[in-house]
Amino acid sequence: MQQISPLQKTNTVPNFSTTDSEGNSFSKEILLGQKYLLYFYPRDNTPGCTAQACGFRDHYCFFQNKEIKIFGISGGSIKTHENFRQKFLLPFPLLLDEQNKLAKLFGVWGEKKFMGRTFEGIHRVSFLINKSGTVENTYLKVKAKSHPEELVRELQDKKE
């Protein structure tokens, strides 16, 4: 099993393409010229992932005012993503990565330990990506519940 090796600050985002749970296309090329937060999370409808998604939902207006788009991404299916979005009224897209190709491309797929078990999966890592497609910041080992609020505090006084 492999350790994670996430993209770091100043790395160029690799070429990628995917869709969201509504069938809309997203790619590096489509997102050029926009600032966005891409947050990888392990699974739809789990307690930690729900807390994180709802935290971003609750601070959505802040990110809109900062002109930062939010995208959640995990290995869930169209159905699980859309159910998750609707159940918790998430105003941002959930991107599909059913084969975990994007998790591997961004370096967030690797060995995990949970309840005495070792397995491979998506690590909870977020990337703030600038308008030119460069990683502005990488957030590792984030706490699901507090990450959205911590990010808001960090960005609150930041000048563009």
CA distances (Å), origin 132, targets 24, 36, 62: 22, 11, 22
> Domains in the chain and their CATH numbers?
33-156 (3.40.30.10)
**pLDDT (tens digit per residue) in 94-150:** 999 989 999 999 999 998 887 888 888 899 999 999 999 999 999 998 999 999 999
- Has residue 75 got a pLDDT over 90? yes
pLDDT top residue among 7 and 58:
58
What is the tally of helices (H) and strands (E) in the chain?
A: 6, 9
pLDDT at 118: 87
- Give me the active site residues, please: 49
What average pLDDT does range 24-49 have in this prediction? 96
User: 151 by DSSP, 3-state: which?
Assistant: helix
pLDDT at 2 (0 to 100): 72
Q: What is the pLDDT of residue 112?
A: 86
